[in-house]
Structure 1
Amino acid sequence: MARTLIRGAAVVTMDAQGVLPCADVLVDGDRIAAIAPQLPLPEGGDADVVDARGCIVIPGLVNAHMHTWQTALRGVAANWTLPEYFRTMHAGLATVFTPEDLHIATLVGALNQLDNGTTTLADWCHNNPTPAHSDAAVAALLESGIRAAFFHGSPKPDPRPGETPFWERPHPRAELERLRTTHQGSTLLQVHAAVLGPHYATMDVARHDFRMARELDCIASLHQGGGPARSPGGWQQLDAEGLLGDNVNIVHGHALSDAELARFAALGMSFTATPESEMSEGHGHPITGRLRALGRAPSLGVDLESAVSGDMLTQARVAIGLQRSLDNVAHRAAHGTIPATSTVPALEALAWVTIEGARMLRQQHRIGSLDAGKQADLVLLRADTLNMQPLHDVVAAVVFQASPANIDSVMVAGRWKKRAGRLLGVDLAPKLAALNASGRRIVRALGLRTHLAPD
């Protein structure tokens, strides 16, 4: 088995060892074998030794929620509010996607995640009207080499006359089972359910979907918020029927009352915020502070590359900046003064995009932090650069100073996917050409006016 010895880096473990100012990381096969201030060369001396002086090693980032199928529409939704998004994306642009469109969007989107230091992607795919669409998206995830959780969803078009609307359609269980059976035992891929939930579906549909997820032992992830609920009181009914638990993931969550949020936190449900898109599209403030008050933490996601960038460090920075601002304003209103210190430390924000993302996927025992025995998913950031020196606080530098330009190397399951600033084994030119062709065809098919660059 291949072994890699990373020497002399500052290591942020997000685990019991905390932050090591100068340490070595030994990778054996797909796992971390040891982390210590100084490690000897493995017996036999056959390890690939990486000089990481001037670098920071962090766990691979976890993007806990992204609609990767929209990669070819980057920037198209940048000026939309949520109603415009529903109308123009789901009822419009989404309806002309072919399986090939899903494949190239998902592939390039996943490669971009790797390039930006994300090693695990929760791909929430809800534009898959046929099995061929789902298969194309999954194939792209596997081709990219990223660790992925494919959340199988269902399209959201406006119903045609006489057609059953999407909110009255139970999740296609047979298709979910097919995908889970096909990819059972895959090293880097899991399959879960992207369901409607009581906010976007009838009670019968919500009940069916949550029971299905419970019976299949998969995560049921759903959007909560954005207009009036289709099943008022639905959460209480699902709770009374024993269908809520730690396999349920709520994305956004702004419409939840304090009592509901407390109850769901007590049940072990997970919560994912997408701070930049939520702020832009009109959801409201991310529920980060409300969760912190309950002793819980969110995972974070990009949500829509059709509206914002795919960089998870940006999401961490936006989330912590906004929550500090909200806390500061509340303190001034209550006390007439600025708080004595920041309410949210930088380490928490880094946890939101590492270990909390792993927890949302029920994978915190395998990924999200660096420790012996865990999967070797890690990132090397260059810290000897103009934007990072001098380095006083390693965690603060990662959260507040680092940019995608600092992502030097990325490893997934012990294999380098990026080294010295370049993705490995990827010919990007034809993929970008295919992505451009796909995006332009989709936009023009709907006659959407955009500020298109020349062909």
Structure 2
Amino acid sequence: PEFSSWKTSVFEIETARELDALCSMHIAFGNWGAKDRSIEKLNQAGLLGPDLNMVHANAMSEEEMKMLAAHGSSISVTPEIEMMMGHGYPVTGLALKNGVLTALGVDVVTSTGGDLFAQMKFALQAERAKHNEELLKEGIMPGPELSISAEQILKAATIDGARALRLDHKIGSLSPGKEADFIMVKTDSVNLLPFTDAVGAIVQSTHTGNVDSVYVAGKAVKRNGRLVDADLEKVRQKALEARDHILSRSPEGAF
């Protein structure tokens, strides 16, 4: 509703529901959240539901968070982009506190990397930094109590992400009957030694270079640190061609 007219927003939500499709919208960030109160408007119109996914939501009020939780709507936090583009602090902690289904995303890979390891780190440390800053303002030295755990962040990147996309019956966890989507991490990598706390190590220390294997629906797409059946030279060439095409059509000085 902040990027189009109210009439258009209602039409798109209703159309998505006719198609039984998830409807995701970038909403309530920067100066828009407090000014527009879009979640409150959606709630008053009876449009909130588990098929709506809100991206960012940095400026959303706690009252609006409770509205999302009551209707089962989800939030996708994209921490790196949000902090870089002035959206405000990621809303991870507030969403979890109010029982909102919280997932992690990247937003745009033109401005940042596309891996969830980075997003997990950003989400965790941004929330802890925000909490610690509040304590320091009160003259309190932050202690061992943690405002958010690595386990909560890992869930947001895996099973809760699948739930937000309404795909948790297929993916998001290693469970009987689900597709075998999983990664294998080299726990003897130098940056992971000594590997003691698996969840903490995955969320706080792992990067893509530590990934030995990736399986999608039981099929290996990466093994022994190398992609399987991938023509990387073709991918590079297409990326360069796309870049050159965009630059050729852009006004002088735009980049």
Q: Distance in 2 between matches of 1:296 and 1:233?
A: 17
The 5 Å alignment of 1:233-272 reads: 235-272=39-76
Residue among 216, 228, 244 paired with 2:19: 216
Q: Give 1:237 shift.
A: 4.3
Residue among 194, 202, 224 paired with 1:420: 224
8 Å contact kept, 1:367–1:377: yes
Q: CA RMSD in A?
A: 2.0
Q: What residue in structure 1 maps to residue 117 of structure 2?
A: 313
Q: Distance in 2 between matches of 1:268 and 1:426?
A: 39
8 Å contact kept, 2:212–2:223: yes
The 5 Å alignment of 1:18-167 reads: none
The 5 Å alignment of 1:283-294 reads: 283-294=87-98
Residue among 185, 188, 192 paired with 1:384: 188
Q: Which moved more, 1:425-434 or 1:232-241?
A: 232-241
Q: What residue in structure 2 maps to residue 354 of structure 1?
A: 158
Q: Distance in 2 between matches of 1:420 and 1:306?
A: 28
Q: Give 1:257 shift.
A: 2.1
| Structure 1 SS opposite 2:106 | coil
Larger radius of gyration: 1
Would the alpha carbon gap of residues 276 and 448 (structure 1) be closer, same or farther in structure 2, given more than 3 Å must change?
A: farther
Query: Is 1:432 aligned to residue 236 of structure 2?
Result: yes
What amino acid maps onto 2:94 in structure 1? R
Q: What TM-score do you get using the length of structure 1 for normalisation?
A: 0.53
Q: Distance in 2 between matches of 1:380 and 1:450?
A: 42
8 Å contact kept, 1:331–1:339: no
Once the two structures are superposed, residues 301-356 of structure 1 have per-residue CA deviations (whole angstroms, 9 ceiling, x without a partner) of 11111111111100000100110111112233346231332222211111111111
Higher helix share: 2
Q: Give 1:378 shift.
A: 0.5
What amino acid maps onto 1:222 in structure 2? M
Once the two structures are superposed, residues 33-80 of structure 1 have per-residue CA deviations (whole angstroms, 9 ceiling, x without a partner) of xxxxxxxxxxxxxxxxxxxxxxxxxxxxxxxxxxxxxxxxxxxxxxxx
Q: Give 1:235 shift.
A: 4.0
Q: What residue in structure 1 maps to residue 10 of structure 2?
A: 207
Aligned residues: 253
Residue among 165, 175, 189 paired with 1:371: 175
Q: Distance in 2 between matches of 1:241 and 1:297?
A: 21
> Which runs of 5 or more residues in structure 2 are unaligned?
none
**Which has the bigger relative contact order, CA under 8 A and spacing at least 6?**
1
The 5 Å alignment of 1:325-336 reads: 325-334=129-138, 336=140
Q: Give 1:444 shift.
A: 3.1
Would the alpha carbon gap of residues 413 and 239 (structure 1) be closer, same or farther in structure 2, given more than 3 Å must change?
A: same
8 Å contact kept, 1:288–1:297: no
> Which runs of 5 or more residues in structure 1 are unaligned?
1-197
Identical residues among aligned pairs (%): 34
Q: Distance in 1 between matches of 2:163 and 2:206?
A: 24
Would the alpha carbon gap of residues 405 and 233 (structure 1) be closer, same or farther in structure 2, given more than 3 Å must change?
A: closer
Would the alpha carbon gap of residues 349 and 233 (structure 1) be closer, same or farther in structure 2, given more than 3 Å must change?
A: closer
8 Å contact kept, 2:73–2:100: no
What amino acid maps onto 2:156 in structure 1? W
| Structure 2 SS opposite 1:218 | coil
Q: Distance in 1 between matches of 2:60 and 2:122?
A: 22
Q: What TM-score do you get using the length of structure 2 for normalisation?
A: 0.91
Q: Distance in 2 between matches of 1:440 and 1:332?
A: 49
Would the alpha carbon gap of residues 253 and 234 (structure 1) be closer, same or farther in structure 2, given more than 3 Å must change?
A: closer
Q: What residue in structure 1 maps to residue 245 of structure 2?
A: 441
Q: Give 1:439 shift.
A: 0.5
Q: Give 1:233 shift.
A: 5.7
